Structure 1
Amino acid sequence: MTEPAPEAPRRWPVIPTIIVFCAVAVMIALGAWQLQRKGEKEALIALYQRNMAMSALVTYPKLPPVADAMLFRKSSVVCLEPIKWDPRSGSDRTGKTGIRMIADCRTGAEGPGVLIDVGTSDDFTPPQWRGGTVQGTVVPGPEQPTLIQRLTGGAVPARAMLVADTPVQGLRASAVPSGADVPNNHLAYAVQWFIFAVAALIIYILAVRRRLQR
């Protein structure tokens, strides 16, 4: 009887290895990009902190997109008439929670209006306010584009909003957002991508070694 031919030694799979290594390279690139974004966000937060320290008034940015150099600066606008109210949850400057009264104001016969946070209330009833000159801090408006909208190209530039220094009668002064409130979690994202890359590589190597040893 003829002896059976010995089995050919198993070889390291080439195409799956290329695919896995490409995926690992993409993960590493994403981690490096997040580290770059971390530095950019730190510089942006530092700019916001400098803006908050400035007392000079700037012209209110009526049209979006709002330049970073304008955010968290002091400004003044004239509200001819509140067109509509957009009550939102928030807090006053003592930390007490309530309803922020955001007015969408008309500033002229034509053109865009302005958003003004005129103060915080305990309920959803808009104040009896007919407009006037308001001085306050320019902050990002409440309607910010989501991550999905940014990735799909459907993001619409967000409007700015003015948080009044002095609330209208019957309301409490709303808390003013700070540049320090801007999230900077890019380091955590970078670490996650690097962990994913290492884990994928280890799992693949162990799986292939186990297959070759059978």
Structure 2
Amino acid sequence: MTEPALPPRRWPLVPTLLVALAVLIMVALGVWQLQRKGEKEALIALYERNRAMSATVAYPALAPVPDAMLFRKSSVTCLEPVRWLPRSGAAREGGSGIRMIADCRTGAEGPGALVDMGIADDFAPPAWKGGTVQGTIVPGPEQPSLIERLTGRAVPARPMLVADTPAPGLRASAVPSGADVPNNHLAYAVQWFLFAGIAVVIYILALRRRLQR
């Protein structure tokens, strides 16, 4: 008596399509990160050129700050500090401490200006009452979170001026540079490509095991 013929082995179409789609998405994300890497490198080069310029620009009153104005020299008149926003930071000549950031009133109305007046050893506000401040325009400390950016609810960060001359009793704050801007896109791209490769290897091993049964 002849044994019944075994049914032909079927290729799992739907799982293969799903894995292929996932791999394509991961590869596309890796390519996008490589593109972002080039864009970030160009942006950092722009910031370094801005730092090398000696000419001053008008302090930007509203956010967002154009990239062409970041890390440029500027000045602003602080009529009075409305409040102090202490943040951790580094001194220009080394060491760390508390950055004393003044949220200044610059007129009867308007958004005012953020001014980093220097590094303190504690949270006690300095006795500085305002005046004309010269310094470097940098991004403000209140940056939108990742969730806010992903959900489209991000509010552009206000600009901030790092004072060339600190307030009495404070040390000059270190001025950020373009090199401080994070550029991890190459590492992210490698991770996405690795994820895609691992997914392909795992699926091939699972598929071989299924077809050998």
If the TM-score is normalised by the length of the shorter chain, which range does it land in? over 0.9
Structure 2 SS opposite 1:162: strand
Number of aligned residue pairs: 213
Measured after TM superposition, the shift of residue 94 of structure 1 is 1.6
1:173 is aligned to 172
1:158 is aligned to 157
Matched to 1:11, the amino acid is: R
2:38 is aligned to 39
Distance of 2:10 and 2:93 partners within structure 1: 69
1:62 is aligned to 61
- The one-character-per-residue Cα deviations of 1:165-212 (angstroms, maximum 9, x if unpaired) are 000111000010011110111001001101101110110011011011
Distance of 2:178 and 2:71 partners within structure 1: 7
Matched to 1:110, the amino acid is: E
Normalised to the residue count of structure 1, the TM-score between the two structures is 0.98
Distance of 2:2 and 2:144 partners within structure 1: 71
1:142 is aligned to 141
1:207 is aligned to 206
Structure 1 SS opposite 2:137: strand
Distance of 2:23 and 2:196 partners within structure 1: 5
Measured after TM superposition, the shift of residue 82 of structure 1 is 0.3
Matched to 1:206, the amino acid is: L
1:9 is aligned to 8
Structure 2 SS opposite 1:108: coil
Matched to 2:194, the amino acid is: I
1:197 is aligned to 196
Do residues 107 (structure 1) and 144 (structure 2) align? no
- The one-character-per-residue Cα deviations of 1:119-175 (angstroms, maximum 9, x if unpaired) are 101000000111000000000000111122111111001101000000011100001
Distance of 2:194 and 2:88 partners within structure 1: 38
Normalised to the residue count of structure 2, the TM-score between the two structures is 0.98
Matched to 2:202, the amino acid is: I
Q: CA RMSD in A?
A: 0.8
Distance of 2:181 and 2:94 partners within structure 1: 18
Distance of 1:188 and 1:91 partners within structure 2: 27
Measured after TM superposition, the shift of residue 9 of structure 1 is 2.5
- The one-character-per-residue Cα deviations of 1:5-57 (angstroms, maximum 9, x if unpaired) are 22212222011101110110000000000000000000000000000000111
- Determine what percentage of the aligned residue pairs are the same residue: 75
Structure 2 SS opposite 1:84: strand
Q: After TM superposition, where is structure 1 displaced by more than 4 Å over at least 4 residues in a row? A: none
Structure 2: state its 5+ residue gaps: none
Distance of 1:18 and 1:58 partners within structure 2: 55
Distance of 2:61 and 2:83 partners within structure 1: 17
2:118 is aligned to 119
Distance of 1:147 and 1:39 partners within structure 2: 21
Matched to 2:135, the amino acid is: G
